Amino acid sequence: MSKTLIIAEKPSVATDLARVLGKELGKFTRDKSGSFYQNDKAIITSAVGHLLEQKKPMTEGGKSLPWKFDYLPVIPKSFELEPIKQSEDRLKKVLQLAKSKDVTEIVNACDAGREGELIFHNLVRYGKWTKPARRLWMQSMTDEAILNAWHSMRSEADMQPLTNAAVCRSESDWLIGLNSTRALTILQSRGGFSVTPAGRVQTPTLAILTQRELEIQAFEPEPYSEVWADFGVQSGVYSGRWIDRDWKKNDNPHSRAERIWDSALATVIRDRCRGKSGTVTEEKKPVTTIAPLLYDLTSLQREAANRYGFSAKRTLQLAQECYEKHKVLTYPRTDSRYLPEDYLGKVYGIVGAVAEENAEFAPFARDILDNKRVKPNRRVFDTKKVSDHFAIIPTGKIEKLSGDVQKLFEMVMARFLAVFFPPAVFEDTRRTTLIDHRDGVTDAFLTTGRVLVEPGWQAVYGRKAGSS
């Protein structure tokens, strides 16, 4: 009987696939070695990330390439692959299963992205597979998402552009990294050998950090003064800061209307205003703010760092755990902050699940449903702004979480619900207190304030009307 070989990227995903697909294909049994699952219709196995890598450069005699300028640049006619030593046993097992006479089709179930494409493509190329293949493209790891992906698998032709992009990036990384690293190392090793690594991502990032550090070191602080005053009124006391009403932007990047660069002048202003009364003018105007866009990985990492001090790596680990282990979030390695336009129905279902099962966020989910807020909106649904993956959102599965995982999940849940709420409305107040002097000089003190009038999307974050 012919079988389909399904290759996941990680053993844990292979386990999930066996559990979920077993409902349709028949129960899977695990091999004694623990490296694959099988039944009469399919075999499910996995890589452990990358099993192959670009072959290191060698001389024509098969020796390691000397670290000399004479051998640079290294530009191979073709990029050969070699096994990664730590995972050679796993590679042998995957290749053995693929060559089995029972296997007539191979399914790529690696992570949905460029790296997943590259892992599978390298296996096909190294193993010289000619059997037909299809792509199991899973945006989340819920049972429903896996089954939907199984019933709507993509063809090799559909995935070819992404595969080409993955191969191109991998080979360009090899060319840039290897040649740049060797060139810099040779230059720096006059007094002894010390590898100086360089690469597509690392080098420009270090350049940005270096430029910023040089700017910090070159900064020369300039002392300035500010004058503050407390004004007593019937209802209490308010503070104001002196401003130069004639101030205009100039070449000094540190110049501000409230900064006084002459400390003696600040003392004069303080002394002449002390004990004086002023006249007040006040301007009020409404200001609206809309909810921020859904998270992509970068914005999630940035906000998690600001809010909880998580490193970028830690945030990715937590998001990956929410996606892979708990199945409460969609695929995290995305650069999009939008959802496909045909995802409205799915979003409605997710909000409905939150309204029924998540006590903390249920009131907000019910508000969205009661007021029919899930509707076409370019700030949320825009297929043109979705590449490989859409924004990170909840899957609708509710599971008891704890610790940092719970914190990250709540961040994504709150952002997801907030985008369907109306704008928050604030009332901004600008109060100017003028103190007139006999010599015709007038000093102005500015007091600003903001009060939340209509919480809108900020209600999801616990803000109430009347708060500042």
Give catalytic residue positions: 331
Pairing of strands 81-83, 228-233: unpaired
- Report, in angstroms and rounded to the nearest whole number, the Rg of the chain calculated over CA atoms: 31
DSSP one-letter string for 87-124? GHHHHHHHHHHHH-TTEEEEEEES-SSHHHHHHHHHHH
Q: Cα 210 from chain centroid? A: 24
Distances in Å between the alpha carbon of 202 and those of 180, 207, 238, 311? 12, 9, 51, 17
Question: Considering Cα of 183, then 188, then 189, then 190, what sign does the dihedral take?
Answer: positive
Question: Considering Cα of 328, then 332, then 338, then 341, what sign does the dihedral take?
Answer: negative
- The partner residues of 283 in beta bridges, in order of sequence, read 430
Q: Characterize 96-113 residue by residue with b for buried, 16 or more Cβ atoms within 10 angstroms of its Cβ, and e for exposed.
A: ebbeeeebeebbbbbbbb
User: CB-side exposure of 419: number of CA atoms within 13 Å?
Assistant: 25
Task: Enumerate residues 6+ apart whose C-beta is below 8 A from 363.
Answer: none
Q: Can you tell me the distance from the alpha carbon of 40 to that of 106, in angstroms, rounded to the nearest whole number?
A: 15
Q: Can you tell me the distance from the alpha carbon of 112 to that of 387, in angstroms, rounded to the nearest whole number?
A: 11
Q: Can you tell me the distance from the alpha carbon of 97 to that of 103, in angstroms, rounded to the nearest whole number?
A: 8
424 and 463 Cβ atoms separated by less than 8 Å = yes
Helix or strand (DSSP H, E) at 30: strand 29-30
- Written as six digits, the tokens of 22 are 């077993």
Q: Cα 384 from chain centroid? A: 19
- Written as six digits, the tokens of 397 are 């599965």
- 129: helix, strand or coil: coil
Exposed/middle/buried for residue 184 (C-beta within 10 Å: 0-12, 13-18, 19+): middle
**DSSP letter at 240?**
E
Phi/psi for 147 (5° steps) reads -65, -40
